[in-house]
């Protein structure tokens, strides 16, 4: 059983978000805004349903799904695309394939050294983000 992804997580590093956004076709203006954001992740599990919220001072994005069940995703406020998404466990990684207009698109989450890792990929561009667990206050 992989370490739990659940919790509230603060971004501590963000490598090649620019390349990933260019691959998605995000405008230069939005890319400049997005590059300055310190995103948070809130990951919850209710029964067999997962909810992943990405939050920032600019926009928020929420997706919910069941592992192994394909679903329709509209990436509202991101690149505004319809994709068919499917999340699976591959070893200790939660992997999502997002099939649509863009080739080789998806993401993977895993835990390493108490940190939450996220790889976002699209058409050969890979963005790597790391989050640390938010200290309770």
Find out whether 58 and 34 touch, Cβ atoms under 8 Å.
Answer: yes
**Candidate residues 107, 110, 121, 131; the one interacting with ligand YOG per rule CB under 6 A:** 107
Name 113's Cβ contacts closer than 8 Å, sequence gap at least 6.
none
Angle at which helix 17-24 crosses helix 28-35, to 10 degrees, equals: 150
**Interface mask (CB under 6 A) for ligand YOG, residues 7-46, using x and -?**
--------------x--x-x---x---x--x-x-x-----
Q: Scanning residues 43 to 72, which ones bind ligand YOG (CB under 6 A)?
A: 52, 54, 56, 58-61, 63
Parallel, antiparallel or unpaired: strands 7-15 and 125-133: antiparallel
* Positions that interact with ligand YOG (CB under 6 A): 21, 24, 26, 30, 34, 37, 39, 41, 52, 54, 56, 58-61, 63, 77-79, 107, 118, 120
């Amino acid at each position: 059983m992989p370490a739990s992804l659940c919790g509230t997580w603060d971004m501590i590093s963000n490598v090649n978000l620019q390349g990933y956004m260019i691959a998605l076709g995000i405008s230069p203006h939005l890319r400049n805004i997005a590059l300055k954001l310190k995103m948070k992740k809130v990951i919850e599990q209710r029964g067999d349903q997962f909810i992943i919220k990405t939050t920032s001072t600019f926009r928020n994005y929420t997706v919910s799904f069941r592992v192994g069940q394909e679903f329709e995703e509209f990436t509202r406020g991101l690149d505004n695309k319809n994709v068919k998404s499917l999340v699976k466990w591959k070893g200790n990684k939660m992997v999502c394939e997002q099939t649509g207009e863009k080739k080789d698109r998806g993401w993977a989450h895993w835990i390493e050294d108490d940190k939450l890792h996220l790889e976002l990929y699209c058409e050969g561009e890979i963005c790597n983000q790391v989050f640390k667990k938010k200290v309770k206050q």
